[in-house]
Structure 1
Amino acid sequence: MSLIEITEVRKSFGSNEVLKGINLDVDPGEVIAIIGKSGSGKSTLLRCVNGLENIDSGSISVAGAQLQPDELHLKALRLKVGMIFQQFNLFPHLTAGGNVMLSQTVVKKVPKPQAEAMARKMLERVGLEHKFDAYPDELSGGQQQRVAIARALAMQPIALLCDEITSALDPELVSEVLAVVRGLAKEGMTLMMVTHEMKFARDVCSRVVFMHQGRVHEIGPPAEVFADPKTPELKQFLGML
C-alpha cells in the first residue's frame, strides 16, 4: 500500500489554478524528486501534502488516513509528515539543541530530559552533536539547514518533505546537506523533494516527477526521465533541445 496517495488534487489561488488534478502515489521508502520550472506548482503540492495549504478538491491520504482540513487532523498529520523549507526557519534566540527540542516539548508534550536526549541523537545523525549549544547566527547556512533537518527528524515522521532545501545555500555548503539526505534515503526514509539538484536526483531518487503548468507532465525512474524525455517541455527544461 502506498504511504502517500494524492488523487485528483486541485488547488487555486484566486482565479489562478496552480494544481490541475495531480495524481501521485508514494510508496514507503521511496525518494521522489519533483522537478520543473518556477510556478509549475511543485512547492504548493508539498504544502498541500503537509496540510499547510487546503486543497480545493481531490484527496490526499497519508498512511491510510485521509487528510481532513480541521486543526486536530492537521496537527496529527504534521506529526507524521515533516517539512523542511528553503529558509531554515530556526528561532534565533534558541540554541541548535533548543530548536530541535522545541516542537517535541510543545507539540508532542515530551518531557524535557527525553526531548534533550532525542535532540542530541538527531543532531548527531546530521553530524552536529558538537553544536548543541551554538546559536543559529554562529552556524553556517549548511549547518542551520542540518539543524532544521534534525528538528524534523526528532518528531519521528514517517515521511519528509523537502522544499528546495539547498537553494538558499552557498554552493560549497550544498553537498553537506545533500549528504545528510542521502543518508536518510539509505536508511529507508520516505522523501518527497522539490529540487534543482539534478545529479542528486539521478543518483539517489527512485522516481522523478516533472511538473509543468500544474500537472504531472512526466514521471519515471531517473535514468529514463533524464536520458529519454518524452515531451518537448521536459527536453527544454533539461536543456536538451
Structure 2
Amino acid sequence: MSLIEITDVRKSYGTNEVLKGINLNVEPGEVIAIIGKSGSGKSTLLRCINGLETITDGSISVAGAQLLDDEVHLKALRLKVGMIFQQFNLFPHLTAGGNVMLSQTVVKKTPKAEAEATARRMLERVGLGHRFDAYPDELSGGQQQRVAIARALAMQPTALLCDEITSALDPELVAEVLAVVRELAAEGMTLLMVTHEMKFARDVCSRVVFMHQGRVHEAGRPEDVFANPQTAELRQFLGVS
C-alpha cells in the first residue's frame, strides 16, 4: 500500500480551478521533488495533503486513512504528516528548544521532561544541539529553518512535506538546510518537496513531478525527467531546447 494516495484531486477558489485532477501515489521512503512555475499548484497540493486546504473533489489517504474534513481526523493526519514552510514560523518569545517542545506538549500532551529530551535529540540531529537556549533572533535564517525541521521531526511523522524551504534563505545558507534534508532522505524519511533546487532534485530525489497549470504534466526518475523532457512546457521550464 502506498503511504500517500492522491486520486483525482481538484481544488478551486471560486471559479478558479487550481488543481485539475491530480493523481499521485507516494511510497514509503520515497523522496519526491515537485517542480514547476509559480502558480502551477505545487504549494496548494502540499497544503491539501496536510489538510490545510479542503479539496473540492477527489480523495487523499495517508497510511490507509482517508483525509476527512473534521478536527479529529485532521489532528490525526497532522501527527502523521509534518510540514515545513518557506517562512520559519518560530515563536520569537520561545527559545529554539521551546519551539521544538511546544507542539509535543500542546498537541501530543507529552510530559515536559520527555518533550525536552526529544527536543534536545532533534536539535542535535539537525546540528543545533548547542543552540537549545537561543532565541530565534539570535539565529541565522538557516539555523531557524533547521529549528523548524527539528520541530516537525519531534512529532515523529511518517512523511514530511517541504514547501520551498530554502527560498527565503540567503544563498550561502541554503546548503546547510539541504544537508539536513539529504541526511533525512538517507535515513529513509518519506519526503515531498516543492523546490527550485534542481541539482538537489537530480542528486537526492527518487522521483521528480513537474506540475503545469494545475496538472501533473510529467513525472519520472530524475535522470529521465532532466535528461529527456517529453513536453515543450518542461523543456522551457528547464531552459533546454
Query: TM-score under structure 1 normalisation?
Result: 1.00
Aligned to 1:128: 128
Stretches of 4+ aligned residues off by more than 4 angstroms? none
Residue 210 of structure 2 corresponds to which residue in structure 1? Answer: 210
Aligned to 2:240: 240
| 1:25 corresponds to | 25
Per-residue deviation, 1:212: 0.1
Mapping of residues 90-105 of structure 1, within 5 Å: 90-105=90-105
The aligned residue for residue 178 of structure 1 is 178
Cα distance between partner residues in 2 of 1:83 and 1:131: 22
Tell me what 1:152 maps to. 152
* Equivalent residue, structure 2, for 1:13: 13
Q: Distance in 2 between matches of 1:100 and 1:78?
A: 15
Q: Distance in 2 between matches of 1:211 and 1:50?
A: 18
Q: Which amino acid aligns with 2:74?
A: L
The runs of 5 or more residues in structure 2 that have no matched partner are none
Q: Secondary structure of 1:83's match?
A: strand
1:193 aligns to what SS in structure 2? Answer: strand
Structure 1: 5+ residue stretches without partners: none
Work out the CA distance in 2 between the residues paired with 1:145 and 1:219.
28
Q: How many residues align?
A: 241
CA–CA separation in structure 1 for the residues paired with 2:30 and 2:90: 28
Cα deviation digits, residues 195-238 of structure 1 (max 9, x gap): 00000000000000000000000000000000000000000000
Tell me the CA shift for residue 14 of structure 1: 1.2
1:33-90 CA deviation, whole Å, 9 max, x = no partner?
0000000000000000000000011000000000000011001100110000000000
Match of 1:112 in 2: 112
Calculate the TM-score normalised by the size of structure 2. Answer: 1.00
Provide the aligned C-alpha RMSD in A: 0.3
Identity rate, percent? 86
Matched with 2:3 is: 3
